[in-house]
Structure 1
């Protein structure tokens, strides 16, 4: 496996194009309260992007996990997700919404949760209050107690 680096970035057209090409929403990418990252290897090859939205002091939304097509199915998605999760305080509850990747996220430790068990701060994000379809699966990371 290559040496990987996760670097903070500002939202740009490359990020938006990668998200859009993967069928991920870009409507709120420029909104405040979001952090985005670029995953590169030791040869400076772009592997993927990820994002975090701070919904409250104790809850965050993992968003925008995408691996560029040439590097898919090589394990980089798991590395990108885990490296991004390391950027979220350990005491925070982490949620995500997905329409197609619930099995992938289950292997990382997320579990499906019903909407009535999701904090209002998460439900109030643009992702969950209007951008993602109501049929999206909401998942919560099962972290060991700190």
Structure 2
């Protein structure tokens, strides 16, 4: 799947599915201070974003939660940040994993970024039980994490 993405992005990206045991995925998450405790559990799909020149741009994951999905593990290579790759990765991942009713995420630092893409903060009480029951929300992320829901499709 190729995208043209943001006008500030220099290259299109494609997504390549990788396993939760992929050492490059794990290293990218560790370096970005994102959790890795449950990335090998069932129900998670991870994608490596690859630029037109074949180089790795970043990663993103989706976790199935009943008929909802949890966006997770969004990371952009530090040398590629600020050029629209984060948005392109999220939008491509959401398109690749269509067929879910609602999309949620939890973040401690990136709420402003996700707001630009169409997510907005929601109270924890409004989040479906299947999403709250994920290891990500039930034990890995701090209770102070902002929970967000996709309110409009990416543009």
1:100 partner SS: coil
1:54 aligns to 2:68 (yes or no): no
Deviations 1:15-36 (A, max 9, x none): 0110011010000000000000
1:87 aligns to 2:96 (yes or no): yes
Partner residue in 2 for 1:66: 75
1:137 aligns to 2:146 (yes or no): yes
Q: CA deviation at 1:42?
A: 1.2
Deviations 1:11-70 (A, max 9, x none): 2111011001101000000000000000011110100000000011x2000000000111
Normalised to the residue count of structure 1, the TM-score between the two structures is 0.94
1:30 aligns to 2:40 (yes or no): yes
2:113 partner SS: helix
**Contact 2:123–2:147 (8 Å) recurs in 1:** yes
Q: How do 1:90-129 and structure 2 match up within 5 A?
A: 90-129=99-138
Normalised to the residue count of structure 2, the TM-score between the two structures is 0.89
Partner residue in 2 for 1:3: 12
C-alpha distance in 2 between matches for 1:38 and 1:88:
14
**Contact 2:69–2:100 (8 Å) recurs in 1:** no
Q: Structure 1 91/130 Cα, relative in aligned 2: closer, same or farther at 3 Å? A: closer
Partner residue in 1 for 2:3: none
C-alpha distance in 1 between matches for 2:83 and 2:144:
29
1:42 aligns to 2:42 (yes or no): no
Partner residue in 1 for 2:5: none
Q: CA deviation at 1:132?
A: 0.1
RMSD: 1.1
C-alpha distance in 2 between matches for 1:87 and 1:97:
20
User: Where does structure 1 differ by over 4 angstroms across 4 or more consecutive aligned residues?
Assistant: none
